[in-house]
Amino acid sequence: MTEPQPPVARAVPVQRTFHGDTFVDDFEWLRDKDAPEVIAHLEAENAYTDALTGHLKPLADEIFGEIKAHTQETDLSVPVRMGDWWYYTRTVEGQQYAVHARLPFAEDGERPQLEPGVVPPGEQILMDGNRAAEGHDFFELSDLAVSPDGTRVAVGVDLTGDEINDLSVRDIATGDLLDDAVRGVGNGAVWSLDGRYVFYTRRDDAWRVNEVWRHELGTPQADDVLVLREDDELFSMGIDESRDQRWLLIFSGSSTTSEIHLLDLAEPTSDVQVVQPRVAGLDYSVEVDGDRILVVHNGSRPDFDLAVATIAAPSREHWEPLLTGGDGDRILGVDAFAGFSAVTMRHAGLRTVRILPKVSDGVYGEPVEVPVEPELHTLGVGANPEYDTDTVQLVLTSWLTPSTIYDYTPEGGDLLLLKQRVVPGYDPSRYVEERLWVAAADGVQVPVSLVRRQEVVADGSNPGLVYGYGSYEFPIDPYFSSGRLSLLDRGVVFAVAHVRGGGELGRRWYDDGKLLAKRNTFTDFVDVSRALIDTQWVAPDRLAAEGASAGGLLMGAVVNLAPELYAAVHAAVPFVDALTTILDPSLPLTVGEWEEWGNPLESPEVYAYMKSYTPYENIRAERYPAILATTSLHDPRVFFVEPAKWVQELRRTVTNGPDRPILLKTEMSAGHGGRSGRYDAWREQAFEDAFLLDRIGATDLI
């Protein structure tokens, strides 16, 4: 039988010359997704991938069945109170999307006790994602905002995956459509207090959110009023409302600098008020607390402090210190309530919460840390729409602890368990989670999370999967995944390399993995991979690696640096043509990315540095791992062309035989996060896991 042959894209040389360096790109023509030849090429790649992975279908089906079996498909969220209603979501077995609903607040004030699969009397539907998704290959709910009087809901939906949304307003009780005039907008929907207006955002041609608009219900979009425009291309905007629904918060920010405006929603046509005019390098966020604001800022410490000011005098000179973390403590954010505030922090590399009680009007007491187990946990503030409350909802998870929701009462320190996600067939005592430290080449200690079955020991024979990200100060915090159980139950040692460039160990950890220190991200990952083998947790020929988006860049870089370490790699929506993208300010988000990677247009040093690691331009004629690159046609963040070009260049350069294929799989109806329905997403995950498990010899349950 003839072996399937990989698609070969025709070479159309395009020269790129900067700072005396010329690079010839043969595959840039694949960028045009409207060209029939490009679509035909992607479809041919999908057919080739299907042909070479057909033998994986039984394994993928088995993993899909395991994910389903570990999921309570008909389920409910914990109801949360907002005004006169309890709001919640529910899922139904066989349905792809959640139903968003509410029940009236009972006179006894008790949280309703709901049963999965039972529709309670008096329920009102805000949004049924399954009905809204009918007839569409992709569906994502971007916004769900209830009017202050509780009678109407503004709903934003994305039906292509490009994160451009349409906004509509419905009467909740009747379901009647009241307004669908607002089209092609960004994320965010905030009501005025009188319910007459909805505020929303728009994107520019470079896909940057650069405008905030006010829409009057019942009028055409052409009559909408521009509230604020951001002209600096380094900055993107966003909107939110204060917990008491009194203030619209308008954020303008780059990766290093921010500026926030307030608008009184009781006077929706009034002018905006700046909190603190932007100062280069000053990054801050704001939480409204009655007539005051709480400000998390880096004006006095790189890892941020908490300050307080009044709305009447909000600027920096009026910020009074409220809380400073210890060495290495990173203050992430704050949620204000009538009697206390909850401060989210990163301590010893883990996310936790401290409570600041109000001992009198305008005066805070000493912070109290919320005590939780296990040691390797992630604790965050959950859904808390009410300002005047005695409790705060907290969400706890770990590598082995399913999402667990508590009500915490600051006065008394009581933790009331509301719900732990049910995981059928899961016994946490069969698994181990631990943290290791690996010395990088420059002596820096890199944290590594390790998860495995109890019976798996460091004997040099195990299959392993190492995951990483390491950009934008985004941390990979401990979190539970039902899908991960399918790996662990096949004896896989699962590791997360918390490499520099992420946010696990504070702002310095991030700074040491960006700009002209970016290579630390890649070498840290390689050092962790070698350590997993050297310490005999993973067999030398059974290590796989995985990363997505900027983590896909990480995958592309490490296979160039140390291809011999990995048997297989999954690079999801990978940013593998980084230099080409960052050189083109007309592409979505490029200008705003210069603070993360540097500006190679202006700086020969940045250009040379990026050229030294951008994966597409550094492929070597050596034996590489088997590689699966996955992407989406409508992804607006990392264009499909990047992995499409990368795969072509890999195939014509590396020395792989048929035992180590280079594959590309493109979802033709999806965005940056992949397919939108939960069953479709599970199918996608099952296929990707099957590819890796097959390559590292871990297809059977232990």
Residue 590: helix, strand or coil by DSSP? helix
8 Å CB contact between 696 and 544? yes
- Residue 391, both tokens: 């409790």
Cα(38)–Cα(30) distance, integer angstroms: 6
Side-by-side strand order, sheet with 320-324: 284-289, 292-297, 305-310, 320-324
Strands (E), 483-625: 493-497, 543-548, 568-572
Q: Are strands 124-128 and 140-146 parallel, antiparallel or unpaired?
A: unpaired
Name which of 140, 156, 152, 236 is nearest 191 in CA terms: 152
CA separation for the pair 386, 340 (Å, rounded)? 13
The Cα angle at residue 645 between residues 36 and 30, in degrees rounded to 5: 25
Q: Could you tell me whether strands 21-25 and 14-18 are parallel, antiparallel, or unpaired per DSSP bridges? A: antiparallel
Q: Is 442 exposed, middle or buried (0-12, 13-18, 19+ CB in 10 A)?
A: exposed
Q: Tell me which residue of 431, 310, 417 sits closest to 372, measured CA to CA.
A: 417
Angle (CA) 435-440-442 rounded to 5° is: 145
State which amino acid sits at residue 597.
Answer: W
Largest distance between two CA atoms of the chain: 81
End-to-end Cα, the chain, rounded Å: 34
What are the residues facing 335 on neighbouring strands?
342
β-sheet bridge partners, residue 317: none
Distance of alpha carbon 618 from alpha carbon 563, whole angstroms: 12
CA 413/CA 416 separation, integer angstroms: 10
| Structure tokens belonging to residue 687 | 């296929």
Place of tokens 């662990």: 488
Active-site residue set: 549, 635, 672
Please provide the DSSP assignment of 364-409 as one string. Answer: E---EEPP-S-SSEEEEE-----SS-S-EEEEEEESSS--EEEEEE
CB atoms within 10 A of CB 568: 22
Helix, strand, coil % in the chain, rounded to nearest 5:
20, 35, 45
